[in-house]
Amino acid sequence: MDIANPSEEHLMLREMVREWTNEHVEPQAHEHDRDEKFNLELLRSMGELGLLGISAPEEYGGAGLDAVACTIVHEELSASDPGFALAYLAHSMLFVNNLAYNGTEEQKARILPKVCSGEWIGAMAMSEPDAGTDVLGLSTNAVQREDGAWVLNGRKMWITNGCIDEDGTPADVVWVYARTGQDERGRVQMSTFLVEAGMPGYSVGQKIYDKTGMRASNTAELVFDDCIVPAENLVGDVGQSLLHMMGNLELERLTLAAMALGIARRALYEMNRYATERTAFKSPIRDFGQIQRYIGESWAKYRAMRAYIYDTANNLTIGTSGQRLDSDGVKLFATTAAKEIADAAMQVMGGYGYVGEYHVERLWRDAKLLEIGGGTLESHQKNITRDLFKDAEAINR
């Protein structure tokens, strides 16, 4: 049994994405990283492959596939270009999947076909300049007017796909969390809004340059300045954001872990190849015990992350919650493992590993983001410890 390709359809999907990635993603990866440029047209073209709405229902233009399929696509793209894969994740997982599972019928019918085809590019805006891990510390707020429309004020920070080009064009549609008051127990009440390009008061504050890695994805600050959002763009009911987050976060973390797996696989492949080709002291360097330690340990880590990630993917039903222990667990383990494997690859490849042409230094830089974005390592440690307090028997199951 192959846990990473549990059916013939999954295997065919993997082969199709791998072939497409080799042909279209690989040739542009180095250049787009170096130039800090997002390949918008390449992302749009994934609509033709049916991958932009991979988990969305077919009736709205999606492919209706499962968590294993989502994992496969993120792994394959990241084995070539993690920066591009991050833009794909922000669109397809953070926006499209959120809308597909939490939006109203009207919102889904109106917006899903556009984001599944690639006509519109989506983003998700949770983080702010002064609030990241502390989600409830957000200050972006929304107030309802008498005519039912909402007025949003605030700034969102670090938003992948927040701008889609070099001219500061904002994402076509953004899934935005905003404070709408307090609940009966005095806690912050958060609500979700769909903000569309052209709505007054919605703009890009800045494209963020000079990132360590993920430079082929655009990261932006978004500004909502008395931004008018029609009543029908509130998602569900007032105060439902935590529900929306719970439904989506597990898939987000699983697919971020899948990105780490792609990075690990490529780094291991490159180091293994180099260790055969390179000779020193009249031997291939793979004959040296210290090099064998890098390769051997990387192989074992890679296989462990692959097994844990696909085990979690096979057990995750999209749109439901209840897999947090493992969605946090795979991201906690795999992201650091990927960074370590990329680091080992650079070490094995010596000076060549340190320059862009040989790929692994880019993978090493990209891997670091996965320890921060979508939940920091510390937040995963906190969640796992909390969940094991509530359910200690998870250890014995």
254 is an interface residue for ligand FAD by CB under 6 A = no
Catalytic residue among 36, 252, 270, 371: 252
- Residue list 213-232, contact with ligand FAD (CB under 6 A): 214, 219
Closer to ligand FAD by CB, 158 or 310: give it: 158
Closer to ligand FAD by CB, 31 or 378: give it: 378
Closer to ligand FAD by CB, 199 or 332: give it: 332
369 is an interface residue for ligand FAD by CB under 6 A = yes
160 is an interface residue for ligand FAD by CB under 6 A = yes
374 is an interface residue for ligand FAD by CB under 6 A = yes
159 is an interface residue for ligand FAD by CB under 6 A = yes
324 is an interface residue for ligand FAD by CB under 6 A = no
State the virtual CA torsion across 379, 385, 388, 390 in degrees, nearest 10: -80
Stretch that binds ligand FAD, among 287-295, 297-305, 352-360, 367-375 (CB under 6 A): 367-375
CB neighbour list of residue 178: distance below 8 Å, 6 or more residues apart: 138, 140, 141, 142, 152, 154, 190, 191, 192, 193, 224
How many other β-carbons are positioned within 10 Å of the β-carbon of residue 216?
Answer: 28
DSSP state string for 367-393: HHHHTTTTS-HHHHHHHHHHHHHH-GG
151 is an interface residue for ligand FAD by CB under 6 A = no
Q: Are 266 and 363 in contact (CB under 8 A)?
A: yes
Among 110, 372, 384, 387, contact with ligand FAD (rule: CB under 6 A)? 372
Closer to ligand FAD by CB, 149 or 208: give it: 208
Closer to ligand FAD by CB, 16 or 242: give it: 242
Taking the complex as a whole, the smallest distance from the CB of residue 245 to ligand FAD amounts, in Å, to: 10
370 is an interface residue for ligand FAD by CB under 6 A = no
H helix count then E strand count, the chain: 13, 9
126 is an interface residue for ligand FAD by CB under 6 A = yes
Taking the complex as a whole, the smallest distance from the CB of residue 200 to ligand FAD amounts, in Å, to: 23
Taking the complex as a whole, the smallest distance from the CB of residue 224 to ligand FAD amounts, in Å, to: 14
Q: Mapping DSSP to helix (H, G, I), strand (E, B) and coil, where does residue 215 land?
A: coil
Tokens of 183: 């609940």
Across 136-157, b (16+ Cβ under 10 Å) vs e yields eebebbbebeeeebbbbbbbbb
How many other β-carbons are positioned within 10 Å of the β-carbon of residue 109?
Answer: 12
158 is an interface residue for ligand FAD by CB under 6 A = yes
297 exposure class (CB count in 10 Å sphere: 0-12, 13-18, 19+): middle
Taking the complex as a whole, the smallest distance from the CB of residue 63 to ligand FAD amounts, in Å, to: 22
170 is an interface residue for ligand FAD by CB under 6 A = no
164 is an interface residue for ligand FAD by CB under 6 A = no
Indicate the DSSP class of residue 171: P
Q: Are 178 and 188 in contact (CB under 8 A)?
A: no
| 252 counts as catalytic | yes
Give the residue from 174, 31, 57 showing the smallest Cα distance to 116.
Answer: 57
133 is an interface residue for ligand FAD by CB under 6 A = yes
Closer to ligand FAD by CB, 326 or 371: give it: 371
Closer to ligand FAD by CB, 125 or 275: give it: 125
Crossing angle (nearest 10°) for helices 241-277 and 289-315 = 150
Q: Any idea what the Cα angle at residue 264 is, between residues 262 and 270, rounded to 5°?
A: 105
Tokens of 381: 């440690």
Catalytic residues: 252
Interface contacts to ligand FAD, rule CB under 6 A: 90, 94, 123-127, 132-133, 158-160, 211, 214, 219, 369, 372-374, 376, 378-379, 382
